[in-house]
Amino acid sequence: MLTQERYQSILSIINERNAVTVAELSQLLDTSESTIRRDLNALHELGKINKVFGGATAITQTEGIVEDNVVTRERLMSEEKTEIAKYCATLINNTDFVFIDAGTTTSRLIDFITNDKATYVTNGIAHARKLIQRGLNAYIIGGKVKPVTEAVVGAEGIYNLKNLNFSKAFMGTNGIDLEAGYTTPDIEEAMIKEQAINQSYMAFIVADHTKFRRVFPVTFSPLTKCCIITDTMPDNKFAKETIIKEVKK
């Protein structure tokens, strides 16, 4: 493999996983660890990656306002979302008053809920349908419907949330960044997320590892305000800011 081809392969792997070790790259690319280390040093000097002890991490990606639709996002990181969802379902107790945010990972959570004594509130159209199909005690907030994410947003939704006090909230996000916090492309959806977190005793961000080091236009919460439930953490720096639970299969 030519050097430039190897560089491109390394960048693709790092950007997909957010973090990778020298040993992993060596095995994936069938290349010696000494060569991988030289490649990482070169890519670091070019500003393409962050070189860390034993490997490398992706540089924060700044994203735009365009979002994939629900069907497309459902297919991404499917196994990781399932493991995260299974764990989240175990956190729900009989007396809980739970907010479930619109999103593909939070939707997967509903598939594994077994507690029929808790009460559930959501701003997701599809989420509300799944909750009642499972015979769970469910409410949906009112407001404007956003077609791309099938989420209820807007001033009416925020007003509905202000009178509710959740014991737990399970929130989706598009990006997680040390400086920007939790981010999403849409202002109205960000305002709903912010209000739901403010109304919750405990808030959990449910997100697979590809959401780390990505920044979207609107911050809806600092890292410290929510716990993160993910499949694997790409950088220990995030654990210094908030509680993170990894649910590796």
CA distance 81 to 34: 35
Q: Which residue has the higher pLDDT, 176 or 57?
A: 176
- With bands split at pLDDT 50, 70 and 90, how would you rate the model's confidence at 74? low
For the chain, count helices (H), then strands (E): 9, 17
* pLDDT recorded at residue 71: 46
The CATH number for 235's domain is 3.40.50.1360
Same-domain status, 77 and 18:
no
* pLDDT recorded at residue 67: 54
Q: Which residue has the higher pLDDT, 98 or 50?
A: 98
Give this prediction's pTM: 0.75
Same-domain status, 43 and 138:
no
Q: Does some domain include residue 65?
A: no
Same-domain status, 124 and 183:
yes
Average pLDDT for 36-58? 86
Residue 5: pLDDT over 60:
yes
Average pLDDT for 80-89? 95
For residue 173 the two structure tokens come to: 């996000």
Tell me the pLDDT of the chain averaged across its residues: 89
Question: For the chain, what's the residue count?
Answer: 249
Same-domain status, 21 and 75:
no
Same-domain status, 121 and 227:
yes
Look at residue 72 and give its three-state secondary structure.
Answer: helix
Total domains present in the chain: 2
* pLDDT recorded at residue 150: 86
Same-domain status, 121 and 236:
yes
CA distance 182 to 226: 9
- With bands split at pLDDT 50, 70 and 90, how would you rate the model's confidence at 50? confident
Task: Provide the residue type at 76 as one letter.
Answer: L
CA distance 234 to 249: 16
8 A C-beta contact, residue 215 and residue 60: yes
CB atoms within 10 A of CB 135: 8
Average pLDDT for 63-88? 69
- With bands split at pLDDT 50, 70 and 90, how would you rate the model's confidence at 235? confident
Strands 181-184 and 137-140: unpaired
Q: Does some domain include residue 149?
A: yes
Same-domain status, 242 and 119:
yes
pLDDT tens, 109-139? Answer: 999 999 999 999 999 999 999 999 999 999 9
Q: Could you tell me the residue range of the domain that residue 12 belongs to?
A: 3-59
Q: Which residue has the higher pLDDT, 120 or 70?
A: 120
Percent of the chain with pLDDT over 70: 92
